[in-house]
């Protein structure tokens, strides 16, 4: 067998030697583990009606937790509370249905201690009746100083009602190391 094939070891960037092993995934007994620490994975979304505020950055108001292996989602602050220092894969999506022409939407991923760490922008122009959406994806280093959290923001020129549900307005977070 080739080295590393069939193994779940992550190597360091310089020499390729393992720095830790992922174990316990998939498992019905709890979340996956990296070097003995549980890796959290969570997803929350907007399920109830929402009218967006145009012209200023707003926290995406998530109101439903789809899953949360470590209990770190906070629907009061609309954020993911980072349990420990590490690298987190974050994906945020936001989608309007049919909107008037010439509107725009931007999404930011931020951490409490570092500020804005990623931004994605979707721009709608010219044709009425099109959808407007944006997705931001980034690997975020967080938790070097606790408490820390990961929060998603939107900015739009359209004051209207986006599509609702787990496929349209969401944030997924997975600790990957």
Nearest Cα to Cα of residue 145 among 84, 78, 89: 84
Q: Is the distance from CB of 168 to CB of 62 less than 8 angstroms?
A: no
Would you place residue 4 in the very low, low, confident or very high pLDDT band (cuts 50, 70, 90)? very low
Q: What is the pLDDT of residues 75-131, one digit of tens each?
A: 999 999 999 898 999 999 998 887 876 788 888 898 888 877 776 655 444 457 788
Separation CA 52–CA 46 (nearest Å): 12
* Domains in the chain: ranges and CATH: 41-175 (2.60.120.40)
Fill in the DSSP letter of residue 20: E
């Amino acid at each position: 067998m080739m080295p590393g094939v069939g193994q779940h070891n992550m190597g360091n960037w310089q020499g390729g030697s393992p720095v830790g092993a992922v174990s316990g995934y998939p498992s019905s007994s709890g979340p996956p583990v990296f070097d003995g620490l549980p890796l959290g994975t969570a997803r929350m979304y907007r399920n109830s009606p929402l009218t967006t505020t145009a012209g200023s950055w707003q926290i995406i108001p998530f109101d439903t937790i789809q899953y949360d292996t470590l209990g770190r989602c906070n629907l009061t602050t609309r954020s993911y509370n980072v349990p420990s220092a590490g690298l987190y894969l974050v994906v945020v999506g936001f989608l309007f249905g049919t909107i008037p022409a010439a509107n725009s939407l931007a999404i930011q991923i931020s951490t409490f201690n570092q500020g804005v760490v990623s931004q994605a922008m979707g721009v709608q122009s010219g044709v009425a009746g099109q959808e407007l959406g944006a997705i931001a994806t980034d690997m975020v280093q967080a938790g070097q100083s606790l408490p820390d959290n990961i929060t998603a923001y939107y900015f739009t020129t359209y004051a209207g009602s986006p599509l609702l549900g787990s496929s349209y307005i969401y944030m997924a977070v997975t600790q990957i190391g």
